Amino acid sequence: MQFDKVDDDDNDNDDKHPWPYALDNTEAMVICTSAVPQISKRSVVKAMLKIPLNILTPKKKAINFRDLQFKYRPGQYPEMVDYVGQKKQIDFAKKLGVKHVVLVSSMGGLDTNNFLNQIGKDKEGKGHGDILIWKRMAEKYLCESGLQYTIIHPGGLVDTDPSKMELVLDVDDALMQREKKSISRGDVANLCIASLTESGGRSVAFDCVGEEVAAVDGGGEPVAVKGAADVLRDFLTTGKTADYTLEPGTQSTMT
């Protein structure tokens, strides 16, 4: 196979334009990156070996999912992905001249004892964990960047159809007090789109979950739910946004 000779002038132009030309005039950026833990195979084997005894023990589940352990791959720790990596994306957005950054993060950023923060740590609490704390640090960096931002803190992500549940928005982990704290991935995607069309130049950070919709008269067709754009538009009229002066370990008392 024969390759054409690369012109040195082209290299000089690439140095002056270090990103693909297709990114020129980009107006918005959506950041969805996150460190992803891997399940420990050893913990799975141990949990399986406990099944016979657990079955014979009253009120005990066959598998205690709390026994399963997770860890991050080397170099893919929350500090590197959720903090350092997101900082670099925010810096890149500024270089591109992006006006609006939407950052998908997570609820629970004020709870240092959240189980997600324990992933990657050993029994002594040492290791590469604290994913929600690193995420919150990246959020603060975005808030101080001078860019318009929308920071979305979804509850537990589930693979259900979007626009089937009523979206509930609040701030500062108030929604963590709910028994059910999940939301469809599709609804989060719709909120990202709505953030770009409905924010009106305003920066905001909020939590979000989905709520089951009651059927009409106890049966029949479910009540139609508001779309993400309408829900976000209504929320913006409240003037609420996350309080980043609150430090992790400060639980919201809002209801």
> 31, 124, 35: which is closest to 74 by C-alpha?
35
Q: Residues 6 or more apart from 220 whose CB is under 8 A from it? A: none
> 240, 232, 139: which is closest to 191 by C-alpha?
232
What is the residue type of 15? Answer: D
Q: Angle 205-79-115 (CA atoms, 0-180°, nearest 5)?
A: 70
Secondary structure tally for the chain: helices H, strands E: 9, 9
Catalytic residue among 34, 40, 43, 106: 106
Q: Residues 6 or more apart from 229 whose CB is under 8 A from it? A: 190, 193, 194, 197, 198
By DSSP bridging, strand 182-184 and strand 156-158 are parallel
Encode burial over 147-164: b for 16+ CB neighbours within 10 A, e otherwise. Answer: bbbbbbbbbeeeeeebee
CA distances 147 to 67, 140, 175, Å, are: 43, 12, 27
106 classed as catalytic: yes
- 3 state SS of 104: strand
User: Hey, which residues are catalytic here?
Assistant: 106
